[in-house]
Amino acid sequence: MSKFSDIKKDFPIFERDINGKKLTYLDSGATSQKPNSVIDKMNDIYKFNNANVHRGTYVLSSETTHEYESVRYKLQSFLNASESDEIIFTKGTTEALNFLANSIANKFMGEGDEIILSEIEHHANIIPWQMVAEKYKLTINYVKVNDDFSLDLDDLSSKLSSKTKVVSIVGESNLSGMLPDIKEINNLVRSNSDALLIIDGAQLVPHRKVDVQDLGIDFLVFSGHKMLGPTGIGVVWGKKELLNSLDPVYGGGDMIEEVHYDKATWAPVPHKFEAGTPPYVEAIGLGAAVDYLENLGMSEVEKHSDELREYGRKVLLDIDGVNVIHAEQDIAGCTFGMYVDGVHAADLSLMLDTHGVAVRAGHHCVQPFHRKLGIDATIRSTAYIYNDKEDIDTLKSALISSVEMLR
């Protein structure tokens, strides 16, 4: 029996009915559902161990600090990082990219330097770079996306130069499921520039096995809430030597070594980047999520995603009147953007909800790429470990019924 065949029982939300129908949750691109093990772990900390971490000499603080810091070791193993100190906790991917953009631009960039992004980036990987570009008089270039939603690597190669200081690319598209060839991108960046390579792993890390050393990248960012963990927690992984060279963006709390009235010195990595009281309960919840995923095995999670994606392609591409935005690669994420000519995405999403089907409507924080396609909004279906072929079939049936009603 497959590890995924009876997995919904671990997620209490699937005990709910929505509009009198069994919940079919296909919005994991926005946030994942949480298993009992994550919910129970966080509740136990609040009920039995809760105390602020670090510098507390009493039992509760020592216990919570141990739980909190142990998550770095779990993530070190999960990502195959060289050291646990390479794991920096943030509030999420968005804060992680803002931190990197500000710290890198301040330390390594000057007027006329260039940043390379792609046309299909999430706003969180565009706006922070726009903000520092304006502040430091930098230039942003965008790698083209081909008609099959793959990245144009020839275009990337042509844009790389000695002026390129940062390449920041999505690891898995939250609109089309596109999976760029990160190792090939890394080879191009190293061969044609001295740029730092950052991967936005918000969609990638929950769904696929990631080995940061094998990929050869410099930084990886991701969010806990998209990989079974709670909201309010994210991660920056970075090479230790690079983290040591960067300055903190936020000040206060345990990020200091010594403070004087006229100056201060910083704590070692990772704590110099974690100002104030950290989201320690959320980090511990993320640790429980990592345990759950590791118990399944990320290679099995990846296989499950690939199988659902292939089934979804066969089922969804066959629906009359529904246009599907999906990567045409052999391997891609199980995400499908969809739209119906003459029907607004919000109306379509509301109709699907009457069938108990939860999908997201809008531009999914990829507004410039929607504009490039000439589309105002789409609905988006993203499957995860708790989804199965029956959920895809339900989506198809609900789409057919909804389109008939709305046209």
Active-site positions read 365
- Give the DSSP H/E element, type plus range, for residue 33: none
Contacts of 126 (CB under 8 A, 6+ apart): 117, 368
CA distance 339 to 373: 12
Contacts of 64 (CB under 8 A, 6+ apart): 45, 49, 50, 51, 52, 53, 56, 280, 284
**DSSP states of 76-89:** HHHHT-S-GGGEEE
Q: Which of 270, 202, 204 is nearest to 242 (CA)?
A: 270
CA distance 234 to 95: 8
Phi, psi of 68 (to 5 degrees): -65, -50
Sign of the Cα pseudo-torsion (204, 113, 218, 228, in order): negative
CA distance 150 to 147: 7
